[in-house]
Amino acid sequence: MDDKRHIDDVQTSTVAEHMKLIMEDRSTIGTEYVPVTPDDLPHWMDMRLFLTGQKYFMKNMLGLAAASVTGLIMVLCVPDIIEVLDYTKKSDTVRSSFKRYAETVLHMYELFRSDMLDSNSRWFKTMNVIRWKHATVSKKRVKEGLNAIYQKDMVLTQFGFMSLTLMNPEKMGLALTTIEEREGFNHFWRVTAYLLGIPDRMNIARKTAAETTELCKHIRNEIREKYLNKHSPGFMKLAKNAINGMWYHEPSLDTDAMLALTFDMAGGKYQKPLGWYSYLNMKQREWILYSCTLQAAGGVPIDAGIPMSRFNGYWQTREPGGMAALPSDKKRASANAFESAQHRRRGTRTSTTTKAQFVNHKDARCPHLRLTEITMRSSYRNELRLAMENSISVQRYVFDIDTRAQYCKTLLNPDKPIILPEGLISPSRGTLFSSSDISGLSPLLRRVDLYAFEEWALTDVERI
């Protein structure tokens, strides 16, 4: 990161040369954790373009989230990535995948949302958590006589996050993306990859979005021909764990439909014939993403008829007042979140949250946060009562189909009740509203399945 040359002078002159460099590279990342600050920003950074990239994400969260998740599943077929993930055991089971991918999307949200010019912002805290995890895994592997994480794998992961947005915007609800937004998105990842420690010569974000798109197509073709079409059992295990893990906070996910989408985005064909449910599930997903384009064009708003929160609920867990938990509660929170989701999947009930589980913000180890989100359990009425009796600042209220909209609207806005669209409330999953959203004409529904994920991400951030 000390290279004073402009990134354009470091990268190869042609996309073909860049592709060859990436595929032949066997260098590894560092094994010592070194935090980054605003002083480490590259001298070639264009703040206007970077902010454009952030705004683009905030405006198109559904499409970009779908593109990122699909891209990440695609690169799970790369042998070196499979080997590292097997080593960390972070994707070994559905439970661990549930946690890993929730943390991933929350980190992604922070990078797109937070102010990077503020050294105390979540942007650098999140960035340093990611750097710390990479360095820690690499150091442990080297001590055991294994290789550290390859820079090539870092680049392929970068490809997973950004490629489909550039290559297939029309299939991700991003057909109306402007040239300026594409350039901003490209520059955002150019800077982010730099701070993650990816060398400029390897960074797949090139001078223009058009060049980056061309490079991504080369990488996609290489992955498809060498790995995806001849995928190993390890890929199917990781992919299915990822999809089944994400099911617990997106219950409409279907494994075969998601794999078919992944193969389609890679330019291949999923060999297993789709059953009627998987086929309809895939078509529903395509229609939802297409509806994003209709909304951007001034058509029917998505939130008038589609439970958009099923796809992008994760980002709301970051809102001020999100769940703050003691670091010692991390393992318990992880288990409770997953087990609660399993109970909901089976239609059984979980125990009511006890008084000890509420953390007053004055006693928390993160004093700048307030507990304003109620833990998802079976009896939300009792939880709300318990929270208010303990004078905890309650700004958000959780309910499910058993509680219905009547109780929630009475608590939130008794003087101005709002009729909530019943069809947008999932029968088996809770839905989160904030008082500011409820007071609007078109309330945005948000899921709360990720209440514990902020605990995990935040605990790592605060420890750094």
Cβ count near 37 (within 10 Å): 11
64's torsion region: left (phi>0), alpha (psi -120 to 50) or beta?
A: alpha
pLDDT of 368 > 60? The answer is no
pLDDT score of 457? 31
pLDDT of 316 > 60? The answer is no
pLDDT of 460 > 90? The answer is no
> How high does pLDDT run on average in the chain?
71
pLDDT of 286 > 50? The answer is yes
Q: Is residue 422 assigned to a domain?
A: no
**Segment 354-372 mean pLDDT:** 31
Cβ-defined contacts of 400-407 (< 8 Å, 24+): 400/425, 400/428, 400/429, 400/430, 400/431, 401/425, 401/426, 401/427, 401/428, 407/381
List, in order, residues 6 or more apart from 440 with CB less than 8 Å away: none
**Segment 89-100 mean pLDDT:** 85
DSSP state string for 64-131: HHHHHHHHHHHGGGSHHHHHHHHHHTSSSSHHHHHHHHHHHHHHHHHHHHS-TT-TTSHHHHHHHHHH
pLDDT score of 117? 82
pLDDT score of 18? 96
At 341, the pLDDT band (50, 70, 90 cuts) reads low
Per DSSP (E only), the strands in 360-458 are: 396-399, 431-434, 446-447
Which range of 281-295, 348-362, 441-455 scores highest in mean pLDDT? It is 281-295
448's torsion region: left (phi>0), alpha (psi -120 to 50) or beta?
A: alpha
List, in order, residues 6 or more apart from 359 with CB less than 8 Å away: 324, 325, 326, 371
Q: Is residue 373 assigned to a domain?
A: no
Domain that holds residue 239: 11-296
User: Taking the C-alpha atoms of 241, 244, 245 and 247 in order, what is their torsion angle to the nearest 10 degrees?
Assistant: 160
At 437, the pLDDT band (50, 70, 90 cuts) reads very low
Which range of 220-234, 370-384, 395-409 scores highest in mean pLDDT? It is 220-234
**Segment 235-256 mean pLDDT:** 87
pLDDT of 27 > 80? The answer is yes
Name the least confident of 146-160, 186-200, 243-257, 289-303.
289-303
Q: Say which residue, 316 or 423, is predicted with more confidence.
A: 316
Q: Is residue 313 assigned to a domain?
A: no
Cβ count near 226 (within 10 Å): 13
Percentage of the chain surpassing pLDDT 70?
62
CA 401 – CA 290 distance, rounded (Å): 28
pLDDT score of 339? 52
Q: Is residue 381 assigned to a domain?
A: no
pLDDT of 374 > 50? The answer is no
Q: Is residue 427 assigned to a domain?
A: no
Model confidence, pTM? 0.68
174's torsion region: left (phi>0), alpha (psi -120 to 50) or beta?
A: alpha
Name the least confident of 73-77, 382-386, 449-453.
449-453
Q: Is the Cβ–Cβ distance between 310 and 447 less than 8 Å?
A: yes
**Segment 176-204 mean pLDDT:** 95
CA 13 – CA 307 distance, rounded (Å): 46
Q: Is residue 407 assigned to a domain?
A: no
Q: What is the DSSP letter of 57?
A: H
At 285, the pLDDT band (50, 70, 90 cuts) reads confident
Instruction: Give the count of domains, the chain.
Output: 1
Name the least confident of 145-154, 193-202, 446-455.
446-455
pLDDT of 345 > 90? The answer is no
Q: Is residue 203 assigned to a domain?
A: yes
- What is the dihedral sign for C-alpha 70, 74, 75, 81? positive
List, in order, residues 6 or more apart from 252 with CB less than 8 Å away: 281, 284, 285, 310
Q: Is residue 165 assigned to a domain?
A: yes
pLDDT score of 175? 86
At 251, the pLDDT band (50, 70, 90 cuts) reads confident
What is the Cα gyration radius of the chain? Answer: 22
pLDDT score of 351? 39
∠ CA(29), CA(232), CA(268), 5° rounding? 95
Name the least confident of 239-243, 271-275, 459-463.
459-463
**Segment 359-372 mean pLDDT:** 31
pLDDT of 210 > 80? The answer is yes
Q: Is the Cβ–Cβ distance between 422 and 292 less than 8 Å?
A: no
CA 379 – CA 399 distance, rounded (Å): 9
pLDDT of 102 > 70? The answer is yes
